[in-house]
Structure 1
Amino acid sequence: MRAIPDNMDAAIVAAVEERLRRVEHDHGVRISWAIESGSRAWGFPSPDSDYDCRFFYIHTRNAYLTPWPARDVIETPLDKVFDVNGWDVIKAVRLLVKGNATVTEWLRSPIVYFGDESFRDNMLWLATSLYDPVRAGRHYLHVGQQQREGALNDLTLKRVFYALRPAATLLWLHTNPDAGVPPMDVPTLLDQTELSAELKERIAELIALKSTTRELGTGAVPAAITDFITRELMLARDLYEDVDPTVHPDAIALAEEWFRGVVDG
């Protein structure tokens, strides 16, 4: 499977894919899913946004049966254009069980460098089976708090949007309590919430501004947007901060069975 928008630089896309092939060769792994994350997939890129490629990879069965397991992350050199790194599927499964929503986001990215569609569908089944909106809320609360603190210290459009996205997701979660996994991109999130038309318009204007502003540029951020971020995080703190993080044994058993099937397959 491959899904690359026409507005992405073909030469850079090819260079990303070459990095991925080198990862497979140099580390002896199989990359089952490689996507674009970050602002491009979230719906608010800047003209100079870097390329945030993320991927899941699988070792051979014997590699998981050693007393000295390898790291569960593979990173390639980071620079102003390329941010390419990925997770061992075993790390992804552990995070899914704990309620980390990043794994599900990668599986649902609209931008795919290459991937096994059956692997994606299979892992989405696991993610949906393990999905808990309360744990998801706790995840986005913590992400939002971290990004908001960064925005207060360094008010760039990038920082504001990185705080806005988890806030919008938190709003979506309590607007759509029975709808399952939230969308990945901000425009879709906002379309499916009860946000006022005026605030949606202010956010759309800010997205348009960011699309013409350098990644670290600053811009006037309407108070209504910063107030929205603060309000959603305060509400989420009351709902999710004290959630019991204990993982149910049934979730662990399901994840273990799924993982064995992927490795043996």
Structure 2
Amino acid sequence: MTLRALPSDFSADVVDAIDAALAGIEAEHGATILLAIESGSRAWGFPSPDSDYDCRFVFVRPVAHYLSPWSRRDVIELPLEDELDVNGWDLGKALKLLLKGNAVIIEWLRSPIVYRGDAGLRDALLAFAARFADRDLIGRHYLHLGERQRHAHFGDGKAVAQKKIFYALRPAATLRWLRLHPDQAVAPMHFPTLMAECDPPEAVTVLVDDLLVRKAVTRELGTEPLPPAIAGFIDGEFEQARPLFEGKASPPTDEAREAAEALFREAAMRWDRGRVRPGSGPG
């Protein structure tokens, strides 16, 4: 089944441009795009009226590409154009990073906004992530991300752009979700869903709901000091996460590596572009 799920308020011109860009990538690079989604604030559920469009995709190339002794780029990037940002990862890169604790590919798989994709492949990747993603590494990913954002934007206690609150708040909420769901590693990407499932204090919910409403209708939320309730929530979650996730790291198991290899091989063979192989031609 082919996936496509786009909000009705998306710019038709931008969607057409993204569709054209994806088709152009396949033609120019001989690749097959397996999944193309919206990332960033639009998919997280807290866009501003002037938010960019951030299309991310996973692709495979023809099988012959992977048989070369020469290393080739596993990323395809298009030049930035105004409000449009399009780039993607080779499926092999995505699988390796997932097993190393990079949660970005998990967020792509959970994106509610899909430009195109194969439902079976996305479900297989989600099942792989649910089974083999290392909770400790995923937690450490969000802890480091959140602490960097906290120190970068709110470290001095002065007034800051209110929209930047979400940069630290989303990792903090994800850490809380992981703590409250000790048997799971794949958290919701959609921020309102994430907040609902991590059951934050009421004072935080009220402040966040107000920020979400205002952010959706204005380009700028203004600058103010970080609200104490939100500061306490963010810092408290980071503090609780440190002993749970900090410093924990282990290499992927043999089972995980074998499962990743099998998933990759199956996808690469299924979507091989049909180039002539040695011995398959006339004679």
- TM-score, with structure 2 as normaliser: 0.88
Structure 1 equivalent of residue 92 of structure 2 = 90
Aligned length: 264
Please report how far the alpha carbon of residue 16 of structure 1 lies from its aligned counterpart in structure 2 after TM superposition: 1.1
Residues 1:79 and 1:156: Cα distance change in structure 2 (over 3 Å): farther
Is the 8 Å Cα contact of residues 99 and 134 (structure 2) preserved in structure 1? no
Structure 2 equivalent of residue 168 of structure 1 = 173
| 1:209-228 correspondence runs (5 A) | 209-214=214-219, 218-220=222-224, 221-228=226-233
d(CA) in 2 for partners of 1:108 and 1:134?
Answer: 19
Is the 8 Å Cα contact of residues 150 and 159 (structure 1) preserved in structure 2? no
1:149-174 deviation digits (Å, cap 9, x = unpaired): 33237932342212111110001111
d(CA) in 1 for partners of 2:175 and 2:185?
Answer: 13
Please report how far the alpha carbon of residue 196 of structure 1 lies from its aligned counterpart in structure 2 after TM superposition: 1.4
Is the 8 Å Cα contact of residues 63 and 69 (structure 1) preserved in structure 2? no
Please report how far the alpha carbon of residue 133 of structure 1 lies from its aligned counterpart in structure 2 after TM superposition: 2.1
Residues 1:242 and 1:179: Cα distance change in structure 2 (over 3 Å): closer
Is the 8 Å Cα contact of residues 148 and 159 (structure 1) preserved in structure 2? no
Structure 2 equivalent of residue 46 of structure 1 = 48
- TM-score, with structure 1 as normaliser: 0.93
Q: Equivalent residue of 1:44, what SS?
A: coil
Residues 1:226 and 1:175: Cα distance change in structure 2 (over 3 Å): same
Letter in 2 for 1:149: H
Is the 8 Å Cα contact of residues 4 and 112 (structure 1) preserved in structure 2? yes
Structure 1 equivalent of residue 235 of structure 2 = 230
Structure 1 equivalent of residue 273 of structure 2 = none
d(CA) in 2 for partners of 1:180 and 1:97?
Answer: 12
Q: Equivalent residue of 2:46, what SS?
A: coil
1:99-133 deviation digits (Å, cap 9, x = unpaired): 22211111121100111111111211211221232
Is the 8 Å Cα contact of residues 99 and 131 (structure 1) preserved in structure 2? yes
Q: Equivalent residue of 1:178, what SS?
A: coil
Please report how far the alpha carbon of residue 194 of structure 1 lies from its aligned counterpart in structure 2 after TM superposition: 3.2
| 1:98-247 correspondence runs (5 A) | 98-152=100-154, 155-214=160-219, 218-220=222-224, 221-247=226-252
d(CA) in 2 for partners of 1:155 and 1:73?
Answer: 34
Alignment RMSD: 1.7
Structure 1 equivalent of residue 61 of structure 2 = 59
Identity over aligned residues, as a percent?
A: 47
Is the 8 Å Cα contact of residues 18 and 55 (structure 2) preserved in structure 1? yes
Is the 8 Å Cα contact of residues 172 and 237 (structure 2) preserved in structure 1? yes
Q: Equivalent residue of 1:52, what SS?
A: strand
Q: Equivalent residue of 1:87, what SS?
A: strand
d(CA) in 1 for partners of 2:38 and 2:24?
Answer: 18
Q: Equivalent residue of 2:5, what SS?
A: coil
Which protein shows a greater Rg? Answer: 2
Q: Equivalent residue of 1:183, what SS?
A: coil
Q: Equivalent residue of 1:106, what SS?
A: helix
Is the 8 Å Cα contact of residues 144 and 167 (structure 1) preserved in structure 2? yes
Please report how far the alpha carbon of residue 179 of structure 1 lies from its aligned counterpart in structure 2 after TM superposition: 4.4
d(CA) in 2 for partners of 1:152 and 1:180?
Answer: 28
d(CA) in 2 for partners of 1:61 and 1:115?
Answer: 20
1:31-90 deviation digits (Å, cap 9, x = unpaired): 010000100111100010000110001011110111113211111111430111110101
Is the 8 Å Cα contact of residues 203 and 229 (structure 2) preserved in structure 1? no
Letter in 2 for 1:218: G
d(CA) in 2 for partners of 1:198 and 1:111?
Answer: 30
